[in-house]
Structure formats: structure tokens, C-alpha cells
Amino acid sequence: MRRGLILLTAALIAVLLCGCGAVAEHGPTLLLRCADNQPEDYPTTKAAEYFASLVEARTDGRVVIRVFPNAELGGEKSVFEQMQFGGIDFARVSVGTLAAEVPEAEMLQLPYLFRDAEHMWRVLDGKIGDELLLSVRRADVVGLSWFDAGARNIYTREPVASLQDLKGLTIRVQESELMSEMIRLWGAIPVQMVYSEVYSALETGSIDGAENNWPSYEATGHFEAAPYYLLDGHARLPELLLISKVTLEKITALDSSYGDILIQCAREAAIYERELWKEREGASEALVRENGCIVTELDDAALQEFREAVTPLYEGFPPEIQTLIRQIQAA
Ligand code: GCU
């Protein structure tokens, strides 16, 4: 009895020491959590699952990651805050989540920064993208790879077909000052709100509209409440697969080669996500169109009005970020 108790206590201590894992033959294992606010069948969540399976296989089962979809671990901002002290180990987040703490992340939210997807990937897959991944370390998290999230567009409950029609409408944005200012410059009223609350706000009419990419517009059901989708393509917000610095230290303490393994697995997961993204973008667009959404394209002159109105946003950054903006524009 007494021996049993001692063994149980020893096992418990082992579990606590190695972060709620178990003691496998080849040493302790880590059981870790990864947050995503999208549903299970969404490209980012599937890629996070793929990442977890690669990491488990390449660490001989010593690093086990469980993915929690649907914001089960909380909204993105709260997840990020928990990651800063190691409360959550990994997350896939929109770059906007880091904007308040990392000026480089805020810069990536600038409307019309990237000319198109090809331009964005040239930047993110190159030297600038690697430096941007490093820049988030300042916020006690480490960027592992970039995921695609397409282009964001405005959608509304009532018909909106031009910049003029947006005036005075309340539009939901991420919890971001830059996105709020963008909406103000368009003459509308920004409402910062956590993603999971947007559907009911649209349904009850407490906001007039929101903005997001095709797959999010479709997966959340926002298209049912706000069927007018205006293709202004204002932002390409890349997404990040992040690890908490605290977790990275725990993992590399198990084996110093695991840091490189994580990065390699995250890059492979990103390639997978980008493939899934392309398919889902087309499927989501088709689905919302079939369901009667009214999609408005803007001609060059109308699009130019959207662009010109937000140029002041480019002026508020410190000189080193201004330089980065110019490098991105020239890429
Ligand atoms: C996208 C993104 C989410 C983000 C959301 C938002 O859907 O994938 O991670 O939370 O935009 O607008 O908040």
C-alpha cells in the first residue's frame, strides 16, 4: 500500500516536471496544446493537426501536441496573452493579434500593402519574411511559419456598392487600432470585437457589417446575416503558427535538435495550409454565391477611392518601419 503510494507520488512528480506528459522508455514526453479559433475542417486547423503529427513522428513521440479548434482555448488575444507566459504552447493566429505589441505585425495590416498573393509570398518567403518572424520574439512568442488567409473584403447587412455607401455604418474589426483607423478613414464607425461574437452582432443588427476573407465569411455563417460582399480587397493579413518562448525552452531542453525540427515541421505544415487554402477559397466563394449573396466588384476608379482614403495610415510608422514598407513595396 505504502509502496504503491510512493510510486504514485513519483509518477505524479514526473508528470508535473515534464509539463503533464508521461515517462516513455526513451525519456520524458511533453503533452502540449495548440489553439486555433477556426473550426476543425478549416485549412489552418487541418494544417495545425498536420504540424502536430509531423512533430510527434519526428520526436519519436516525445512531443505530443493536441489542437483545440473553435476558440475552445479562448479568443486570439487572450490565447496570445496566455502564450506569453507559457499557459498555451502553440497557436495559429492572424497577424493582427500581435499588432499592439509588435510594430512589424501592425505594419503587415496596412491596407493595400501587398499588390497580390504572389507579391506577399515573395516577401514572406524571403529574407524580409524571416526577419518578420524573428521580430515577434519581442512579445515572448516565436513565429514558426506563415499561413495564407487570402484577401479581406467588406460585407454588410444592407446593400453597399461604393465607398459612399459605407459612410456612417458600424463595421466590426479585429481588436486593432490600425484597422479601426482604416474604417474611420472610409467614413464608417469601427467596432472592435472578438471573432466569435461577430455572427450574433450581425444577426441582431448591433453592427452593420464586418470584413474578412471568403472562407471565414462562409465558415462563420456571416454570409447569412450580411449577404452583400464588396470586393475591395483591402488587406492580405498573413497568419502565423506561433510557439510560446517558454514552451520552446522546454522542448529544446528535451533535445537540442528539436528546435530545428519544429521549424521544419511548421514550414511543411504551411505549404500544406496554402494548398488547402486555395481549394477552400474557391469552394467558399461558390457556396456563398449559390446561397444568393450579392458580390460587387469595383472598377479601377472606385477601388482607387478606397486606396486613396487610407494613405494617411502609411505615415504613422517610425523610420525603421517606413524603410521596411519601402522594401516590401519594391519587392
Ligand atoms: C480570420 C482569421 C482569424 C481571425 C479573424 C478575425 O478569420 O483566420 O484568425 O480571428 O479573421 O477577423 O478576427
Residue 5 has pLDDT above 70, yes or no: no
**Residue having the nearest C-alpha atom to atom 4 of ligand 1:** 94
State in Å: Cα 252 to ligand 1 middle. 30
Predicted pLDDT of residue 162: 95
Mean predicted confidence (pLDDT) in 119-146: 97
Predicted pLDDT of residue 316: 86
Domain boundaries in the chain?
11-149+237-282, 151-236+283-330
Comparing 128 with 22, which gets the higher pLDDT?
A: 128
Whether the domain at 11-149+237-282 and the domain at 151-236+283-330 fall into the same CATH topology: yes
198-223 per-position pLDDT tens digit:
999 999 999 999 999 999 999 999 99
36 Cα nearest atom in ligand 1: 9
Q: Is the CB of 237 under 6 A from ligand 1?
A: no
Q: Is the CB of 95 under 6 A from ligand 1?
A: no
Choosing from 78, 154, 197, 216 the residue with most ligand 1 atoms within 8 A of its CB, the one to mutate for a pocket test is: 216
Query: Could you tell me if residue 222 is left (phi over 0), alpha (psi between -120 and 50 degrees) or otherwise beta?
Result: alpha
Mean predicted confidence (pLDDT) in 60-65: 97
Choosing from 34, 36, 38, 217 the residue with most ligand 1 atoms within 8 A of its CB, the one to mutate for a pocket test is: 38
Residue 13 has pLDDT above 60, yes or no: no
Residue 189 has pLDDT above 90, yes or no: yes
Three-class DSSP labels, the chain? CHHHHHHHHHHHHHHHHCCCCCEECCEECEEEEEECCCCCCCHHHHHHHHHHHHHHHHCCCCEEEEEECCCCCCCHHHHHHHHCCCCCCEEEEEHHHHCCCCHHHHHCCCCCCCCCHHHHHHHHCCHHHHHHHHHHHHHCEEEEEEECCCCEEEEECCCCCCHHHHCCCEEEECCCHHHHHHHHHCCCEEEECCHHHHHHHHHHCCCCEEEECHHHHHHCCHHHHCCEEEEEEEECCCEEEEEEHHHHHHHHHHCCCHHHHHHHHHHHHHHHHHHHHHHHHHHHHHHHHHCCCEEEECCHHHHHHHHHHCHHHHHCCCHHHHHHHHHHHHC
Predicted pLDDT of residue 22: 52
Residue 7 has pLDDT above 50, yes or no: no
**Residue having the nearest C-alpha atom to atom 10 of ligand 1:** 195
Predicted pLDDT of residue 24: 54
Confidence class of residue 12 from pLDDT cuts 50, 70 and 90? very low
**Residue having the nearest C-alpha atom to atom 5 of ligand 1:** 195
Confidence class of residue 195 from pLDDT cuts 50, 70 and 90? very high
Name the pTM for this structure: 0.92
Q: Is the CB of 37 under 6 A from ligand 1?
A: yes
Query: Under a CB-based contact definition with an 8 Å cutoff, are residues 92 and 44 in contact?
Result: yes
149 Cα nearest atom in ligand 1: 8
Mean predicted confidence (pLDDT) in 276-303: 98
Predicted pLDDT of residue 256: 96
Residue 3 has pLDDT above 60, yes or no: no
Q: Is the CB of 76 under 6 A from ligand 1?
A: yes
- CATH code for the structural domain at 151-236+283-330: 3.40.190.170
Residue 36 has pLDDT above 50, yes or no: yes
Q: What mean pLDDT is reported for the chain?
A: 93
Mean predicted confidence (pLDDT) in 77-85: 97
The CATH H-level (homologous superfamily) assignment of domain 11-149+237-282 is: Bacterial extracellular solute-binding protein, family 7 (3.40.190.170)
State in Å: Cα 195 to ligand 1 middle. 6
Mean predicted confidence (pLDDT) in 96-123: 97
State in Å: Cα 237 to ligand 1 middle. 9
State in Å: Cα 94 to ligand 1 middle. 6
Predicted pLDDT of residue 25: 61
Q: Is the CB of 45 under 6 A from ligand 1?
A: no
Predicted pLDDT of residue 14: 43
Q: Is the CB of 261 under 6 A from ligand 1?
A: no
State in Å: Cα 107 to ligand 1 middle. 17
Mean predicted confidence (pLDDT) in 232-255: 97
75 Cα nearest atom in ligand 1: 10
What is the percent of the chain with per-residue pLDDT over 70, rounded to a whole number?
92
16-33 per-position pLDDT tens digit:
444 445 555 666 699 999
Comparing 11 with 315, which gets the higher pLDDT?
A: 315
State in Å: Cα 15 to ligand 1 middle. 35
Predicted pLDDT of residue 282: 98
State in Å: Cα 219 to ligand 1 middle. 11
